[in-house]
Amino acid sequence: MESLINSTYKQLDNWIDQNGSYSYDISDIKTRPIYIWIINLSQKSKITKILTAPAIILAENYTNFLREIFNVKKKIYPQGQAVLARAYLADYKKSNNETSLKKALEALDWLKQNSSPGYNKYCWGQPYNWYSRKLIPAHTPRATVTSQAANAFLDAYEIFKDKEYLQIAVESCNFFIEDLHWKEDEDGFICFSYTSIDNYNIHNASILVAAVLIRTWEHSKTQKFKEFGLKAMNFTLKHQNDDGSWFYWAPPDKIIGKIDNYHTGFVLESLEVIKRYLGNEFNSDSALDKGLKFYIDNLFEDDKIAKMTHKSIYPIDIQSCAQAIITLGEIKSRVPELTKIVHNIADWTITNMMDKKGYFYFRIYKNGRIDKTPYIRWSESWMLRALSFLMENKDYNK
């Protein structure tokens, strides 16, 4: 398994070197004004939903054709750069590979130079307009993107002890507290908003922020980071379902109860990171273990295929596969029994979703169709990090 992981990492790394960090994105067609207009129209009534269905299906199934029609350009994504930096830093930490170090530093420098405009703190968003119940303009900083970037700088700080990297993470934490929206509930717990201009309550986004706050507190000893991190963590723990799962949306948002693979993985990974940095102060092991049990029992087929939701295998999404490797790899250091499942997921993903050119496919659909489009932000960066994560943890290769 060690040789497979190492060779796959090298192939994917070489593909990224040859093709660069610019790529299409799974959301680029959906950010076109005409698509947003169609989505708005579809939500007006049952009749308009039926009438606009063909156009929505067309966008889902003939994306590359539409990219040519609308002259969509490839872009570079802060989230992709952050996750790539984390992968390269993990490889450097394991192997002292100077090439990986150079790539990591280049990605971190790019992030420093491309923080979202209009804010006096380090924060990042996506370079496109995005419709999610309301229009989120391009570059609006997001909790999800900023948390990954802050984690990349924290990874670098833990290796090099360069205070500049820690200061960037500190500024990002101040952005979370001062620029995202949050309100204490009756227990004094909070849920951070998804972006700086909405009031959405979403578990994975909020607890990703919580993990960065706790991690930055450990190094900076800024007490408010710990206080806010604990409040956000406890909010998500409070709203864990009886079976151990979490819905995507959090109260008070009363939206369909979606439970999917990679967002559940983000929650569990974040809790595990918080547990690591809090040490004996972490007293929610039962909730974490209950969530882990639901994750393993309900979101995988045959302990190797990452399902989309607890009710459906398809579409099999590469980010579900990558995040599963990261999440379970993070936890297995204290739960060694997970090693076999991580092996199985990695092996299945490499066998079924890797192209001979060295990159990974986006999705496999129920009808057998495979969307083979490479996406740096969504697919390649996450798989490179998953692979480097396995390489970094030596016990994986025993």
Mean of pLDDT over the chain: 94
Q: Are 329 and 342 in contact (CB under 8 A)?
A: yes
User: In Å, how far are 232, 233, 369, 382, 384 from 204, measured between CA atoms?
Assistant: 11, 10, 29, 16, 21
What number of other Cβ atoms are within 10 A of residue 118's Cβ?
Answer: 10
The one-letter amino acid at 248: Y
* pLDDT band per the 50, 70, 90 thresholds, residue 168: very high
When mean pLDDT is compared across 248-257, 289-298, 310-319, the lowest value belongs to 248-257
Residue 397 pLDDT exceeds 80: no
**Residue 2, pLDDT score:** 77
Place of tokens 């990695």: 346
**pTM for the full model?**
0.94
The CA distance from 195 to 141, in Å, is: 6
Average pLDDT over residues 355-378: 97
Give tens-digit pLDDT for 101-136.
999 999 999 999 999 999 999 999 999 988 777 889
Say yes or no to pLDDT of 1 above 90: no
Which amino acid, 184?
E
Helix extents (H) in 77-222:
78-95, 98-113, 143-160, 163-179, 203-220
Q: For residue 255, what pLDDT band results from cuts at 50, 70 and 90?
A: confident
- The H-or-E segment that residue 316 falls in is strand 316-317
pLDDT at 370: 96
The per-residue pLDDT for 48 is 92
Query: How far is Cα 66 from Cα 316, in angstroms, rounded to an integer?
Result: 23
Delineate the domains of the chain, giving CATH numbers in brackets.
Answer: 1-24+76-103+299-398 (no CATH), 29-71 (no CATH), 115-284 (1.50.10.20)
